[in-house]
Amino acid sequence: MTPTPDGAILVDMSARNPWDRIRIVEGDLTQLDVDAIVNAANSSLLGGGGVDGAIHRAAGQDLLAECRTIGGCPTGEARITRGYKLKARHVIHTVGPVYHGGDSGEPALLQSCYESSLRLARSNNVRTVGFPAISCGVYGYPMREAATIALETTARFLAAQDDIDEVVFVLFGRAALDVYLAVRAELSAI
């Protein structure tokens, strides 16, 4: 808030607009130059396929060694490690829900993945974060529903604090990119 000479108070709304701090791109998350990338892991945290496999390959064996010391992670929660050979300083590992039709608590669990990851980022002084489309590969979550949860949850989190400068959603392929862009256009117009 800025007081003007005549005593009026100007509120700078742009600083609080969360959509200005959300970027949506197509690409490979492992190449992203941010403070932390988020891994769509499984509850063992010991690696797998998809983006998890790609992150472990790019980070090197030391990431797996650190993950072994953690002892797993329940669905909907997140854990943080170093990034090793990645450009990203940290990896935040979160475990998305397997999609079983949507009536088995999947939306709340997916929302919790984004919230837990962003909370962990904030408490580790991470200012820039990259996310994949958690649960949208092997775990079968429909992209549109998942994108709505991802973007809504992130926008709400960013609106409540200024510690995180930017969240980048890195999508694999044009189809996923287009879904995220369409959902963002709908949500940011509300």
Nearer to ligand AR6, 17 or 111 (CB): 111
Smallest distance from ligand AR6 to CB 8, Å:
47
Can you tell me the distance from the alpha carbon of 172 to that of 176, in angstroms, rounded to the nearest whole number?
A: 6
Q: Which is nearer to ligand AR6, 26 or 152 (CB)?
A: 26
d(CA 26, CA 42): 23
Q: Which is nearer to ligand AR6, 126 or 133 (CB)?
A: 133
Give least dist CB 83 to ligand AR6, A. 14
Closest contact distance (angstroms) between CB of 168 and ligand AR6 is 11
Tell me which residues touch ligand AR6 (CB under 6 A): 28-30, 40-42, 48-52, 54, 96, 132-139, 170, 172, 176
What is the Cα 121 distance to its own chain's centre? Answer: 10
Dihedral of the CA atoms 82, 134, 57, 67 (nearest 10)? 40
Paired residues of 39 in beta bridges: 93
Contacts of 5 (CB under 8 A, 6+ apart): none
Judged by beta carbon, residue 49 or residue 105, the one nearer ligand AR6 is: 49
- Strand, coil or helix: 70: coil
